C-alpha cells in the first residue's frame, strides 16, 4: 500500500512516498468553475449527484466539477523528474483563465528541492497548452528552456501528429513559445512507446494511452513495495471513473480515449496502486476500487512536508543560478 510521507526541509509541499521514491505535487492554479462544464459537458449535475463520493473534494454540492493545474515532481533514485509543466507564466493564450498568468510555480518547485537547473528529465504526457507551459520562461524578448539541464521526453507519435496537422493560430503560438524553443536547444527527445510501455528511467515507465491525443501517455512509477500511475489527461476527473464513457470536448479520438480510460482503470482497480490525477484537485491521489459496473476513487491525501528554510533565502543565486531572478 502506498502511503503519504513527510520529507523534512522542503517546505509545505504535498508529498506521497511510492515504493521508496517520492512524489511531490507542484501546484500551479485552481481552474475556474466554468472549466468543468466546458471540458466534460456530459458530466452534468445529475451525473455528479449519482456519485455522492465526489463531494465535496472533487465536486461542489451544486454539481460543478473541481479541477486544477499542477505538475508532479519525482525523486527516483538520484534523479529529479518533472511530469508535465502546466500553463506557464506570461504566455499569450486564447483561454482567459490561462492568459498572462503570474503564479509562484517556480518558487513552489524550488521549495520541493527542484531548482530549475537540478531537473534531470521532463516527461510531457502530451503537447497541450496546459501541460507544456513551464517548458520555457521569458528572458528578455525570448522564451528559453526553464530546465536547461533536463532531457524533455514526449512521444514520436505526438510530435508527428502535431507536425502534420493544420493548427489554429493559438496552438501555433503555444508551439512557438513553449515547444519549439526546447527542440531548438536540442533538449527534446522523441521516443517510441510500444504496447508494453517505455522505460524512461529505472522505475519510471511511459504507458500508451492514446485518444485524448494520438501519442498521449500515462506515467508509471514503480519501486519496492509500491507503485503509482500519473493519469495525464487519460482521466481528467474522478467523475470518469464511474462513467468512463464521458469524454473531454478536446479529445481528438473519443472512441480511443474511452478504450484507453477503461483499460487503465481496469488495470488499477483493487490493486493498491496509487492513481495521481493530472487535473484532480486535492486530495489528488487515491486508490481505484470497483464500484458496481464502474469504479470510484478512495482518496489517499498527500502529506504536506514540514516547513523548512525558505529555499530562496540567503545566497539564492548560488543554489538556483540564473533562475533565481525569475522566481
CATH architecture observed for domain 3-326: 4-Layer Sandwich (3.60)
Query: Residues with Cβ < 8 Å from 298, sequence gap 6 or more?
Result: 286, 287, 289
pLDDT at 107 over 70: yes
- Tell me how far apart the alpha carbons of residues 145 and 80 are, in angstroms, rounded to a whole number: 16
Q: What are phi and psi of 239, to 5 degrees?
A: -60, -25
* The Cα angle at residue 74 between residues 68 and 79, in degrees rounded to 5: 150
Beta bridge partners of 65: 59
Q: Is 263 exposed, middle or buried (0-12, 13-18, 19+ CB in 10 A)?
A: middle
Tens of pLDDT, residues 57-88: 999 999 999 999 999 999 999 999 999 999 99
Query: Residues with Cβ < 8 Å from 306, sequence gap 6 or more?
Result: 6, 8, 9, 12
Residue 304's pLDDT is 73
- Tell me how far apart the alpha carbons of residues 76 and 79 are, in angstroms, rounded to a whole number: 5
Is the pTM above the cut of 0.85?
A: yes
- For every residue of 214-272, DSSP letters joined together read TT-EEEEEEETTEEEEE-TTSS-STHHHH-TT---TT-SSHHHHHHHHHHHHHHHTTS-
% pLDDT > 90, the chain: 88
Tens of pLDDT, residues 40-60: 999 999 999 999 999 999 999
pLDDT (average), residues 97-115: 97
Residue 2's pLDDT is 46
| Per-chain mean pLDDT for the chain | 90
Report which of residues 319 and 104 the model is more confident about: 104
pLDDT (average), residues 108-131: 98
- Tell me how far apart the alpha carbons of residues 122 and 120 are, in angstroms, rounded to a whole number: 7
- Tell me how far apart the alpha carbons of residues 89 and 104 are, in angstroms, rounded to a whole number: 9
Taking alpha carbons only, the member of 118, 152, 112 closest to residue 134 is: 152
Amino acid at each position: 500500500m502506498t502511503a503519504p510521507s513527510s520529507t523534512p526541509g522542503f517546505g509545505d509541499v504535498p508529498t506521497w512516498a511510492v515504493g521508496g521514491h517520492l512524489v511531490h505535487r507542484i501546484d500551479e492554479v485552481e481552474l475556474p468553475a466554468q472549466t468543468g462544464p466546458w471540458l466534460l459537458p456530459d458530466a452534468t449535475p445529475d451525473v455528479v449527484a449519482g456519485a455522492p463520493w465526489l463531494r465535496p473534494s472533487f465536486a461542489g454540492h451544486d454539481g460543478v466539477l473541481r479541477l486544477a493545474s499542477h505538475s508532479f515532481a519525482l525523486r527516483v533514485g538520484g534523479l529529479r523528474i518533472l511530469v508535465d509543466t502546466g500553463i506557464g507564466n506570461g504566455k499569450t493564450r486564447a483561454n482567459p483563465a490561462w492568459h498572462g498568468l503570474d503564479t509562484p510555480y517556480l518558487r513552489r518547485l524550488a521549495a520541493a528541492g527542484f531548482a530549475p537547473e537540478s531537473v534531470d528529465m521532463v516527461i510531457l504526457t502530451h503537447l497541450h497548452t496546459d501541460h507544456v507551459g513551464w517548458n520555457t520562461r521569458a528572458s528578455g524578448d525570448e522564451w528559453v528552456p526553464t530546465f536547461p539541464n533536463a532531457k524533455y521526453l514526449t512521444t514520436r507519435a505526438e510530435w508527428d501528429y502535431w507536425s502534420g496537422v493544420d493548427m489554429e493560430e493559438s496552438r501555433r503560438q503555444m508551439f512557438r513559445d513553449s515547444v519549439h524553443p526546447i527542440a531548438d536547444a536540442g533538449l527534446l527527445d522523441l521516443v517510441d512507446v510500444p504496447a508494453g510501455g517505455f522505460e524512461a528511467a529505472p522505475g519510471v515507465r511511459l504507458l500508451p494511452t492514446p485518444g485524448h491525443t494520438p501519442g498521449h501517455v500515462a506515467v508509471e512509477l514503480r519501486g519496492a513495495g509500491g507503485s503509482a500511475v500519473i493519469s495525464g489527461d487519460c482521466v481528467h476527473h474522478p467523475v470518469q471513473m464511474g462513467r468512463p464513457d464521458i469524454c473531454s470536448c478536446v479529445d481528438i479520438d473519443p472512441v480511443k480515449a474511452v478504450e484507453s480510460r477503461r483499460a487503465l482503470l481496469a488495470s488499477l482497480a483493487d490493486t493498491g496502486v496509487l492513481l495521481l490525477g493530472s487535473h484532480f484537485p486535492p486530495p489528488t491521489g487515491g486508490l481505484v476500487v470497483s464500484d458496481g459496473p464502474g469504479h470510484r476513487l478512495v482518496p489517499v491525501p498527500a502529506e504536506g512536508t514540514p516547513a523548512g528554510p525558505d529555499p530562496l533565502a540567503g545566497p539564492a543565486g548560488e543554489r538556483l543560478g540564473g533562475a533565481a531572478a525569475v522566481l
